[in-house]
Amino acid sequence: AMEDVSAKFVSQKISRTRWRPLPAAALQPPDLFATGSWDNEDNRISIWSAGDLGNAGLNGEYHGEPHLLCDIQHNGDVMDMQFLDQERIVVASSTGTVTIFRHHQNNQTLSADHRWEKAHCHVDQDTSCGGAACTGVVCNNPEIVTVGEDGRINLFRADQKDAVRTIDNADSSTLHAVTFLRTTEILTVNSIGQLKIWDLRQQRNEPSQIFSLAGDRVPLHCVDRHPNQQHIVATGGQDGMLSIWDIRQGTMPVSLLNAHEAEMWEVHFHPSDPDHLFTCSEDGSLWHWDTSTNVSEKPSFLHQGGRSTAYLSHSTINQSVASAWLSNDPTKDRMEITNLIPNQTLSVNSLDVLGPCLVYGTDAEAIYVNRQLFA
């Protein structure tokens, strides 16, 4: 299955990869994606074309590699990024600045549309503001929420110069990631293993709910919400474990799944097929978790990850997707886990899935595109 994956060496460490969202009625697979880099002297935001499907060979296998359409310099490491719409990308910097870049498709250029300087900062004794890394950004056009090392939450609107709302000391520890639960509620994860829900309609600056990992207070690095069942949330952290939470009940995860051997950097439910989940790690692996109920009938795909593939026995056949994720002991349920990158050594920092396509970026200064995830 490796021939479905095309690689592009880009001479910069890639910290984020994101597919451009498709228009609502689009039937074609995604074609454009953005990357951001880190730990380079000159960091960049780049827009790529995934390659030419017209190059497909006789058996439909895919040839051609991603090619660069345009790029622009970015101050600081790219900590996070998300498309706001088809043209605009919101980028979080290690300097604390949040920038909206616009992709001009008529002449293939990128420009900075708007900047919130030092949206995140550490205030020192002289009350001057030293930038604090903006660690996470999430968009629900026109709203943009950012979190940072300073424990601050900002709510911006793309069309307004100043923050709509700032919760200054939302957290006494570093906030690592944020996602929308619904239009008025966000969920943050922090460096002491807590997950907090914030109701943006409330004026008070306290979370409406706090959940936490029992015991070790392991830093949580990433979070994603199930696209259809908003009470199901997945998080990953420093110990590489995948945690599944049901925010309707209890304050602890419903299940903890042994996953990676080092930090988990990103977790994503497939946006249209959420019984598939993807995680990537510092340990150089990218795992596909499949809880779809027909695992045994379908051929196992992407077997280059054979050594990490685990078949977990299954108790009841006709479970709903929700209960597969929310089962108290997922090992009793049918789940197939495949490492999509068997021999990678350096960190896989970011991944994104859309339709049949996966894009991921690594510290090996390469981006990879798989156009046939479910082939």
In a domain, 301, yes or no: no
Q: CB under 8 Å to 298, separation ≥6 — which residues? A: none
| Residue 300 predicted with pLDDT over 50 | no
Quote the DSSP letter at residue 373: T
Number of domains in the chain: 1
In a domain, 156, yes or no: yes
Distance CA 344, CA 364 (A): 9
In a domain, 305, yes or no: no
pLDDT given for residue 122 in this prediction: 85
Distance CA 52, CA 64 (A): 6
Q: CB under 8 Å to 82, separation ≥6 — which residues? A: 18, 89, 90, 137, 138, 139
Q: Does 297 or 143 have the greater pLDDT score?
A: 143
3-class SS shares of the chain: helix, strand, coil, % to 5:
5, 45, 50
Cβ neighbours around 324 below 10 Å, total: 20
Q: What is the mean pLDDT of residues 47-65?
A: 67
The predicted-structure confidence for 209-235, as pLDDT tens digits, reads as follows 999 987 778 999 999 999 999 999 999
- Residue length, the chain? 375
- Would you say the C-alpha torsion 256, 261, 262, 264 has a positive or negative sign? negative
DSSP β-bridge partners for residue 146: 137, 154
pLDDT grade, residue 301 (50/70/90)? very low
User: Comparing 114-123, 249-258, 322-331, which segment has the lowest mean pLDDT?
Assistant: 322-331
In a domain, 311, yes or no: no
Instruction: Please tell me whether residue 321 adopts helix, strand or coil conformation.
Output: helix
- The rounded Cα 218 to chain-centroid distance in angstroms is 19
Distance CA 144, CA 5 (A): 33
| Residue 323 predicted with pLDDT over 70 | no
Q: Closest Cα partner for 48 from 80, 7, 76, 99?
A: 7
In a domain, 308, yes or no: no
| Residue 192 predicted with pLDDT over 60 | yes
pLDDT grade, residue 328 (50/70/90)? low
Q: Closest Cα partner for 103 from 53, 48, 66?
A: 48
Distance CA 347, CA 264 (A): 10
Please, which contacts does 357-361 make with residues 24 or more away whose CB atoms are closer than 8 Å? 357/19, 357/29, 357/30, 357/50, 358/278, 359/17, 359/18, 359/19, 359/33, 359/50, 360/17, 360/280, 360/286, 361/14, 361/15, 361/16, 361/17, 361/35
93: CATH: 2.130.10.10
Quote the DSSP letter at residue 30: P
For residue 323, which phi and psi values (nearest 5 degrees)? -70, -20
Q: What is the mean pLDDT of residues 128-140?
A: 90
| Residue 304 predicted with pLDDT over 60 | no
Distance CA 127, CA 205 (A): 22
Q: Does 302 or 337 have the greater pLDDT score?
A: 337
Q: Token pair 């981006």 is at which residue?
A: 367
pLDDT given for residue 316 in this prediction: 30
pLDDT given for residue 302 in this prediction: 35
For 364, the domain range is 5-24+32-57+69-293+323-370
The predicted-structure confidence for 264-293, as pLDDT tens digits, reads as follows 999 999 999 999 999 999 999 999 999 886
In a domain, 116, yes or no: yes
Q: Which tokens go with 371?
A: 């156009």
Q: Which tokens go with 122?
A: 């550490």
pLDDT given for residue 313 in this prediction: 31
| Residue 294 predicted with pLDDT over 70 | no
| Residue 305 predicted with pLDDT over 50 | no
- Would you say the C-alpha torsion 310, 311, 313, 318 has a positive or negative sign? positive
Instruction: Please tell me whether residue 163 adopts helix, strand or coil conformation.
Output: coil
What's the mean pLDDT when you consider all of the chain?
A: 86
Q: Is 64 left (phi over 0), alpha (psi -120 to 50) or beta?
A: left
Distance CA 169, CA 150 (A): 8
In a domain, 203, yes or no: yes
The predicted-structure confidence for 79-121, as pLDDT tens digits, reads as follows 999 999 999 999 999 999 999 999 999 999 999 999 999 999 9
Q: Which tokens go with 88?
A: 């605009």
In a domain, 98, yes or no: yes
pLDDT given for residue 63 in this prediction: 59
pLDDT given for residue 23 in this prediction: 86
pLDDT grade, residue 5 (50/70/90)? confident
The string of DSSP letters for 88-103 reads EEEEEETTS-EEEEEE
Distance CA 124, CA 267 (A): 34
Question: Percent of the chain beyond pLDDT 90?
Answer: 67
| Residue 3 predicted with pLDDT over 80 | no
